[in-house]
Amino acid sequence: MQDLNDIYYFVQVVELGSFTAASKALGVAKSQLSFRVARLETSLGVRLIQRTTRRSHVSEIGQRYYEQCQQLLAAAEQTQRVIDEAQAAPRGRIHVACPVLFAQLLLAPILVEFLRQHPGVQVDLDICHHQVDVIAGGYDIAFRVRDSLQDSSLVMRSYGLDPQVLVASPELLRRQGQPTQPLELKRLSSVGLISAEGRHFWHLQAADGRTQQVEYHPSLISDDLQVLYQAVVGGVGAAQLPQFVCREAVAAGRLVPLLPAWSLPAGNVHAVYPSRHGHTPALHSFIDFVAQSMPQVLRRTQQGTPAEHAEPAAENLVAD
Res 149: pLDDT = 59
Q: Is 271 left (phi over 0), alpha (psi -120 to 50) or beta?
A: beta
Q: What are φ and ψ of residue 159, in 5° steps?
A: -110, -10
Res 86: pLDDT = 61
- Cα angle vertex 241, ends 216, 293, to 5°? 150
Architecture of the domain whose range is 164-263:
3-Layer(aba) Sandwich (3.40)
Check if the beta carbon of residue 159 is closer than 8 Å to that of residue 269: yes
Q: Which of 37, 274, 88, 79 is nearest to 29 (CA)?
A: 37
Q: Do 4-87 and 92-162+267-319 have matching folds?
A: no
* Amino acid at the residue 41: E
Q: What are φ and ψ of residue 79, in 5° steps?
A: -60, -45
**Coil, strand or helix at 140:** coil
Neighbours of 221 (CB within 10 A): 16
pLDDT in tens, 255-297: 999 999 999 998 888 899 987 777 888 998 999 999 999 988 8
CATH number of the 4-87 domain = 1.10.10.10
Confirm whether pTM is higher than 0.75.
no
Residue 66: CB partners within 8 Å, gap ≥ 6?
10, 11, 14, 48, 58
What separation in angstroms does the CA of 317 have from each of 260, 262, 310?
Answer: 32, 30, 20
- As a whole number of angstroms, the distance between CA 148 and CA 153 comes to 16
pLDDT in tens, 46-73: 999 998 767 788 999 999 999 999 999 9
pLDDT in tens, 181-206: 999 999 999 999 888 788 999 999 99
Place domain 92-162+267-319 in its CATH homologous superfamily: Periplasmic binding protein-like II (3.40.190.10)
Res 317: pLDDT = 31
